[in-house]
């Protein structure tokens, strides 16, 4: 019998038992929807990670104390200068960070400040929206002036940032003149938000805000992606030389590439976990299919006898019942994909990033077909192996 006619026969049988076919395939519906959503969530997570990292130069390396809190042997401005002597390193900036009360007019908030060498601004895309940037003069003369991140300026002025330029704010009760506002930079992938911070010259931060507690992070830029590893080696070497007591061991050296890899890895782990759930659902639903197919074969034993009497061969009986299982599970797969699609907005509402994709549909349908073939095979094989006379005499 040709495939088209076999399929017709199968569809007649499946469609005349719609309720049973539907109930049989419920598990496949859920399983396929899960597979589809797993892929969507995986893709969503990936998209989120790469968006976070897209603004971050893959050549960037952060050097920071390995332990939080009190540090015996902190990094220094001098270390950063030594780093820049390496051929593999383009820039190295010491950066100080702190938290404190930031005050403007009657408004006060607890916010972050970042002390940077002025050159930091160019290599980190901090551009001016209003006023001026931090300048070498400010660093040299330790001018108590600040440039605000766009979001901070907005918050302090209650949505009217232009008024603040030229005014004074206080950070931890020390007075600073606001000389400019940066453009919004968004998520930079760095652990702190530039848009919410107040920026001051490095020397100013050292002198007025942190004093002896100054414990900088050094942000390094390798000359290129391929020199990242060499740069890390150089940094390690230098730290071992200059911090003889604890050596490079006491610092953490993080490069963007491996941070990206770690983030992607955890997104992938999440996907795999969900995929495992989906596979379990499909296995359970497959066992359901197998059960129903056994019942079907039993019920239709007489029919199988008739088919054999009029000349159906084993493989044709096998094909017919296998195709029934696959049609049922594939129908479940299609319904599952639709269900998955409908669930995507729901996930968005739950703030889970989910990106539906053709790949997810294909994978879901593939799984549903595999389920049908795998679990439909044994009952179909049993049907095919029935002896014609036993099948015919079965009551």
Q: Interface with another protein by CB under 8 A: which residues? A: 1-2, 4-5, 9, 12-13, 16, 302-303, 305-314, 316, 387-389, 392
Half-sphere exposure of 243 (CA within 13 A, CB side): 22
Half-sphere exposure of 76 (CA within 13 A, CB side): 10
Q: Kindly state the smallest distance separating residue 324's Cβ from another protein, in Å.
A: 12
Q: Kindly state the smallest distance separating residue 2's Cβ from another protein, in Å.
A: 7
In the bound state with another protein, the residue whose beta carbon lies nearer, of 106 and 395, is 395
In the bound state with another protein, the residue whose beta carbon lies nearer, of 95 and 327, is 327
Q: Kindly state the smallest distance separating residue 306's Cβ from another protein, in Å.
A: 5
Q: Kindly state the smallest distance separating residue 42's Cβ from another protein, in Å.
A: 43
In the bound state with another protein, the residue whose beta carbon lies nearer, of 6 and 277, is 6
Q: Kindly state the smallest distance separating residue 4's Cβ from another protein, in Å.
A: 8
Give 181: exposed, middle or buried? Use CB within 10 Å, 0-12, 13-18, 19+: buried
CB within 8 Å of 246: residues ≥ 6 apart: 72, 73
Of the candidates 335, 383, 391, the one whose C-alpha atom is nearest the C-alpha of residue 13 is: 383
Q: How far apart are CA 90 and CA 336, in angstroms?
A: 53
In the bound state with another protein, the residue whose beta carbon lies nearer, of 147 and 293, is 293
In the bound state with another protein, the residue whose beta carbon lies nearer, of 232 and 318, is 318
Q: How far apart are CA 19 and CA 16, in angstroms?
A: 9
Bridge partners (DSSP) listed for residue 220: 61, 92
Of the candidates 142, 150, 151, 149, the one whose C-alpha atom is nearest the C-alpha of residue 176 is: 142
């Amino acid at each position: 019998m040709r495939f088209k006619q076999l399929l017709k026969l199968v569809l007649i049988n499946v469609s005349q038992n719609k309720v049973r076919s539907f109930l049989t395939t419920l598990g496949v519906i859920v399983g396929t929807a899960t597979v589809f959503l797993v892929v969507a969530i995986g893709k969503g997570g990936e998209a989120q990670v790469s968006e976070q990292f897209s603004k971050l130069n893959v050549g960037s390396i952060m050097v920071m104390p390995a332990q939080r809190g009190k540090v015996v042997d902190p990094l220094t401005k001098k270390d950063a200068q030594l780093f820049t002597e390496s051929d593999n390193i383009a820039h190295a900036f010491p950066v100080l960070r702190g938290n404190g009360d930031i005050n403007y007019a009657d408004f006060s908030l607890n916010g972050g400040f970042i002390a940077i060498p002025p050159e930091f601004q160019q290599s980190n895309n901090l551009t001016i929206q209003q006023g001026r940037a931090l300048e070498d003069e400010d660093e040299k003369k330790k001018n108590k002036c600040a440039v605000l991140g766009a979001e901070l300026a907005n918050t302090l002025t209650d949505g009217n940032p232009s008024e603040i330029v030229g005014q004074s704010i206080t950070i931890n009760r020390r007075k600073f003149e606001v000389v400019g506002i940066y453009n919004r930079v968004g998520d930079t992938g760095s652990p702190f938000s530039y848009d919410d911070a107040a920026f001051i010259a490095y020397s100013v931060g050292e002198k007025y805000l942190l004093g002896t507690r100054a414990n900088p992070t050094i942000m390094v830029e390798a000359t290129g992606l391929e020199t990242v590893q060499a740069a890390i080696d150089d940094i390690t070497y230098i730290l071992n030389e200059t911090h003889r007591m604890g050596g490079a061991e006491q610092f953490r050296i993080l490069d963007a590439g491996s941070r990206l890899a770690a983030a992607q890895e955890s997104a992938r782990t999440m996907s795999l976990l969900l995929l495992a759930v989906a596979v379990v659902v499909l296995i359970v639903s497959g066992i359901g299919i197998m059960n129903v197919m056994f019942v079907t074969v039993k019920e239709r034993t007489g029919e199988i006898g008739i088919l054999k009497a009029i000349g159906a061969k084993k493989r044709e009986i096998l094909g017919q019942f296998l195709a029934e299982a696959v049609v049922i599970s594939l129908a479940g797969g299609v319904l599952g994909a639709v269900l998955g699609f409908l669930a995507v907005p729901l996930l968005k509402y739950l703030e889970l990033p989910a990106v539906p994709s053709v790949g997810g549909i294909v994978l879901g349908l593939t799984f549903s077909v595999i389920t049908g073939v795998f679990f439909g095979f044994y009952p179909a094989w049993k049907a095919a192996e029935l002896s014609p006379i036993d099948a015919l005499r079965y009551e």
